Structure 1
Amino acid sequence: MFSCDRARADGIAAGLLALGLDPQMKDHGNHACIETEVPDSTTAESWGVLLALLETADQFGLVSSASRGLIAWAAVRMDAPATDDAVAVAGQCHQLYGS
């Protein structure tokens, strides 16, 4: 991983942790995925901070999981993206918690 991109991924995870969330990070070689469950009790202020953190990633999203509820995910590229990389990254990121 490039050090600046690793630092960005670590910063996102640290910010989520500071919000009281439990981020999980997985290295996929060309990108890192950071995911966390978002509790129903999340305040509007915390949502604002959460979205600001996610926006620092190369890709991010929210997924509703039947077993885990709402999952926020972020992907940080560790190398130059291929043309079809976006779909592959999104598909890998929100699998840490399962569906």
Structure 2
Amino acid sequence: MQIVEKLKSRWGIQSNWQVLIIMAVFSFAGMTVVFARKWAFNFLGVVESDPFWFKAVLWILLIFPLYNILLLAYGTLLGQFDFFWAFFKRSIGRFIPTKSGS
């Protein structure tokens, strides 16, 4: 239970149910994106022999944004929109440079 308490503190949530729901959303989004990657790569004709860098670029351009959208969608469906909206803004913020201390 110590892990659950750490997560509650880190995420700023109150109940164990919220932890369970949030973990379920991450799980659902992860499983969905695995199937989406298979479908998208097959649709685009990506094969095993294609270079790793090519597949990595496709992953970043297609699958990473889809994962974030799925987190928002599942999070909204399960009543945790605020948590996942904040998570989305933090994850996107890592890729967008900002001026510090202007």
Shorter-chain TM-score tier: 0.3 to 0.5
Task: Give the number of the structure whose residues are more often helix, by fraction.
Answer: 2
Task: Give the number of the structure whose residues are more often strand, by fraction.
Answer: 1
- After TM superposition, the score normalised by the length of structure 2 is 0.34
Task: Name which one, 1 or 2, has greater alpha-carbon Rg.
Answer: 2
